[in-house]
Structure 1
Amino acid sequence: MIILMAVTVSSFAQSKEEAAVAAAVENFRKLLIDPKEADLNAATSKALSYGHSNGLVEDQQVFAASLISGKFNFESIEQTEQTITVTGDAAIVRHVFKATTHDAGKDLGTANLKVLQVWQKQSGKWVLIARQAVKIVS
Structure 2
Amino acid sequence: MKKQTFLFFLILLLGSRIEVSAQSTEAQNVSKAIDGLVVAMIAADKDMLNFQLSDALHYGHSSGLIQDKEGFVKEVVSKSPLSYQSIERENEVIHLSKKTATVSHILTIKGKNPSGEAVNIRIGNMMVWEKEKSGWKLLARQAYKL
Calculate the TM-score normalised by the size of structure 2: 0.80
Query: How far does residue 70 in structure 1 lie from its aligned partner after superposition?
Result: 0.8
Any unmatched runs of 5+ in structure 1?
Answer: 1-13
Write the deviation string for residues 89-125 of structure 1: whole angstroms up to 9, x where unpaired. Answer: 0000111100112122462111100100100001151
Match of residue 33, structure 2, among 7, 18, 24: 24
User: Separation in 2 of the partners of 1:122 and 1:128?
Assistant: 10
What does 1:101-116 correspond to in 2, within 5 Å? 101-105=111-115, 107-116=117-126
1:67 to 65, 76, 86: 76
* Total equivalences in the alignment: 123
Residue 95 of structure 2 corresponds to residue 85 of structure 1: yes
Could you report, residue by residue, the CA deviation over 1:55-76 in whole angstroms, capped at 9, with x for unpaired residues?
A: 1111101101101111132111
Identity score, percent: 30
Question: Hey, what does 1:76 align to over in structure 2?
Answer: 86
Counterpart of 2:52? 43
Residue 99 (1) aligns with residue 109 (2)? yes
**Alpha-carbon offset, residue 130 of structure 1:** 0.4
Q: Which has the larger radius of gyration?
A: 2
Give the match's secondary structure for 1:39.
Answer: helix
What's the TM-score, normalizing by structure 1?
0.84
List structure 1 runs of 4+ shifted beyond 3 angstroms: none
Any stretches of 5+ residues in structure 2 without a counterpart? 1-22
